[in-house]
Amino acid sequence: MSTTVTSTIGVDTDADLGSGAWRTIRSVLRQPSTIVGLVIVGLFVLSAVLSPVIAPYSVSQSSCKVFAPPSGKHWLGCDDGGIDVLSLVLHGGGVSMIVGVFATLICMIVGAGFGILSGYFGGWVDIVLMRITDYFLVIPQIVLMIVIAAVWGPNLSHVIVVIGALMWTGTARVVRAQVMSIRERAYVRRVEALGAGHLRIIAHHIIPQVGPLLAANAVLAMTVAIFNETALAFLGLSDPTAITWGTIMEHAFDRAAAGAGAWWAIAPAGVAVALFIVGCYLIGRSIEDALNPRLRVSYLSPRSWTLRPLVGRGPEAI
């Protein structure tokens, strides 16, 4: 008897949720900034996937003079080893994105785990987990990243783990706040009263509800991960043999591209990072705004709506 009722409620909320999620997606897609973001990110992903085919030159063999300026043959010039910069940036994009995706994955698993457990169970679990989160929020993460990466050794998988394991705090806090409010909703209380276990409630009612929020957070975490990778790489703590946007810049700096005035050895990778981050940012912002439309009202000059900045990282996001 009770199982029937539980499943009915389950179906009910699932159907409701389905249309809710669909509404979110539609309202996200209606914003022009989403389209711009999707186009930018899409182009980058496409170029990274196709880089073996579309890269004009090999990235392991020199094809022109050292620090040759941009020309018809080499659109973005050449680096210190006479390697075509355009090919390097195309190749590096894929590796940078892989680092970003895996670091984000770690960040999402840890952050969502912390947030869900602490928001769902409350009490001591919440206190302990949130103190740990506070702690990670306060210490300067990049310095810890540098220290760990330096002690652990330069290796791409180390870089991924270090970045992912240190940037989940924002996610944990945002998810916790959301879970706390979902947990208090009547239907979750009802399902609980009907005897559903914690695991079932979390899996069927909590996780699907925080889905869109996690998606927004993941896209924004991507930007932080890629940023951190370039910073670590620049300090010589990434894998020296891997080609990423970060190591391209580090390499050029290391081999005195700046002194040679060879801006083309540095600028393309930096611009690629910036464009990719703007793309992710636009998408992430749009999802967050679809979830929280409150900010569209201003009583001083109620005109139109534009970008909202990255505020989700602080306690204000709660």
Partner 1 sequence: MRGSGYVVRRIVFAVITIYVVLTLNFVLFRVLPGNAVTRISRVPNASPKLKHALEVQFGLDRPLWVQYGRYLDQLFHGNLGISYVNQRPVFDNLRDALQNTIPMVAIGTVLALVIGVAVGVLSAVRRGTVTDHASTNLAVLFYAFPTQFLGLMLLMMFAGVLPTAGMSDAFAINPSGWSHLVDIGKHMILPVATLVLTLYAENALIVRSAMLETLGEDFILTARAKGVPRRRIIRSYALRNAMLPTITLIALSLGSIVTGAILIEVIFSWPGIGRALYGAVLARDYPMLQGGFLVITITVVVLNLLADLLYARLDPRIRH
In terms of DSSP H, where are the helices of 235-266? Answer: 245-254
Find the shortest distance in angstroms from Cβ 45 to partner 1.
17
Find the shortest distance in angstroms from Cβ 118 to partner 1.
17
18 CB-contact burial (10 Å; exposed 0-12 / middle 13-18 / buried 19+): exposed
* Site for partner 1 contains 32 (CB under 8 A): no
Find the shortest distance in angstroms from Cβ 246 to partner 1.
8
Two tokens at 204? 């069927």
Element (H, E) at 165: helix 156-166
Site for partner 1 in 226-245 (CB under 8 A): 227, 230-231, 234-237
Find the shortest distance in angstroms from Cβ 114 to partner 1.
17
d(CA 263, CA 155): 28
Phi, psi of 78 (to 5 degrees): -130, 160
CA angle 21, 45, 173 (to 5 degrees): 45
* Site for partner 1 contains 301 (CB under 8 A): yes
Q: What is the DSSP letter of 68?
A: P
d(CA 201, CA 309): 33
Site for partner 1 in 130-159 (CB under 8 A): 131, 134-135, 137-144, 146-148, 150-153
* Site for partner 1 contains 274 (CB under 8 A): yes
Find the shortest distance in angstroms from Cβ 73 to partner 1.
23
Q: Applying CB under 8 A, which residues contact partner 1?
A: 131, 134-135, 137-144, 146-148, 150-153, 223, 227, 230-231, 234-237, 246, 249, 253, 258-259, 261, 263, 266-267, 269-271, 273-275, 277-278, 281, 294-295, 297-301, 303-311, 313-316
